Copies of this chain bind each other. A is one copy, B any other.
């Protein structure tokens, strides 16, 4: 990366400290999730909040602001220089427009809310979380106000997680998705293939073999273990802790061999993206994946487009059979393929199959927008949740712990984050469609030859880090803007074949 402009040079120099401190905070968080002794929680929270404040101070540095304002007026900037300014302005908006006191108060509110949420979920009592969620909605309304928006307060929040995303765009995407997917699910439920032998989930799949398989597939798809690690945590995640250090986590349950394999592919997808960014972008505003949506496209591509494809199941079948010879004695690639692609409307988002998954997101999208605009009350959420589940999925939770309390996101204060999961699914299908034209993907997967597919992503997406904004990137890569039809076509083709019906 060649930076000629002196103001931009100063911005990058200052940003380096922000990046460095951010990644130290990343290690504190990784360690909190992977290693932290029980009694160390209080002190770790204090360290994290101290660093968060320090980072916020760095964003608010007056000289930095002056330089950023100056940079915004500069002409004849290079592509990279322009992207540096654009990215800084995007992050800066939050730190600059929202008063630091609000940010700090909000962090305290969410720290308490998280504890209350955990208890509420455990006790299955929404009322314990309700007052906290009220505060969180109100803080989000305030923050949206500080940031500013044209049409809808939700716009201000969506843009924080996926630059440029608006409520209008989201609404149009989700209305297309729900219109197509709801009848598709009904067809699948009616199919004679929709019953699955549940006894497979009552067998024992030793965790040590699950770990071996997870490591195997990560290595196979190209994840570099010299620049990362795979550990265990309650909720799997991927984190970039600095150059040469992209860590994944997984979780293992002895009753299922599917989950840890799919988690490895999913987190591996995130990890490959981070490991593939141009090293020259390290510690600059161009570092890391460009948005949550594009990031999720990488994880979902490797998890679903590859990991749940017939070719991959065909390839991995002997590996599964050698570790679980008795457990899978009656299975072959075809039955395993069906098993990995069971579709069934269920209550829990993180357990949902690829067909019903986005319906879960649609519900959250609608609720968040209605909350922010005061069209529904926090108190009415359990009821609203039930109604929407009934409408889209045809199932209704008996208890809030399997309904409105299931996800951690709101307790962390995140509103506007969920839709990026759906964007990820859509981007993944759109990219896969393009790869299908450029490469003989089926043959490559069948042979366990993932190098060309990874090279494609490295060349078209990974190396750019945060150089191109998501909408530019998808256009550059696929020739058109985000279009849900690729995902819908993929679903219909795949699942009509599995479940034996025509559309």
**With A50-B17, A229-B35 in contact, is A242–B40 under 8 Å at CB?**
yes
Contacts of A440 in B (CB 8 A): none
Per-residue CB contact flags for chain A residues 237-248 toward chain B (1 = under 8 Å, else 0) read 000011111010
Per-residue CB contact flags for chain A residues 38-56 toward chain B (1 = under 8 Å, else 0) read 1111111011001100000
Q: Are A37 and B243 in contact (CB under 8 A)?
A: no
Q: Are A27 and B31 in contact (CB under 8 A)?
A: yes
- Give how many copies assemble into the complex: 2
- Closest Cβ of chain B to A283, distance in Å, is 8
Contacts of A490 in B (CB 8 A): none
Tally of chain A residues near chain B (CB < 8 A): 34
A227 to B224, CA, bound (A): 33
Q: Are B37 and A228 in contact (CB under 8 A)?
A: yes
Tell yes or no: A396 within 8 A of B by CB.
no
Interface residues of A in 5-41 (CB under 8 A from B): 17, 20, 23-24, 27-28, 31, 35-41
Contacts of A501 in B (CB 8 A): none
With beta carbons under 8 angstroms apart, the residue of B38, B43, B247 that contacts A243 is B43
Contacts of A224 in B (CB 8 A): 39
A174 to B27, CA, bound (A): 44
With beta carbons under 8 angstroms apart, the residue of B41, B42, B245 that contacts A37 is B245
The chain B residue with its CB closest to the CB of A39 is: B244
Contacts of A169 in B (CB 8 A): none
Contacts of A282 in B (CB 8 A): 43
The chain B residue with its CB closest to the CB of A36 is: B245
Tell yes or no: A197 within 8 A of B by CB.
no
**With A24-B24, A27-B31, A31-B27 in contact, is A243–B42 under 8 Å at CB?**
yes
Q: Are A244 and B27 in contact (CB under 8 A)?
A: no
Contacts of A216 in B (CB 8 A): none
A365 to B51, CA, bound (A): 41
Contacts of A247 in B (CB 8 A): 37
Tell yes or no: A225 within 8 A of B by CB.
yes
Tell yes or no: A226 within 8 A of B by CB.
yes
A44 to B190, CA, bound (A): 56
Q: Are A245 and B40 in contact (CB under 8 A)?
A: yes
A405 to B242, CA, bound (A): 33
The chain B residue with its CB closest to the CB of A224 is: B39
Q: Are A51 and B38 in contact (CB under 8 A)?
A: no
Contacts of A38 in B (CB 8 A): 226-227, 244
A83 to B478, CA, bound (A): 68
- Closest Cβ of chain B to A61, distance in Å, is 15
A20 to B229, CA, bound (A): 27
Q: Are A44 and B242 in contact (CB under 8 A)?
A: yes
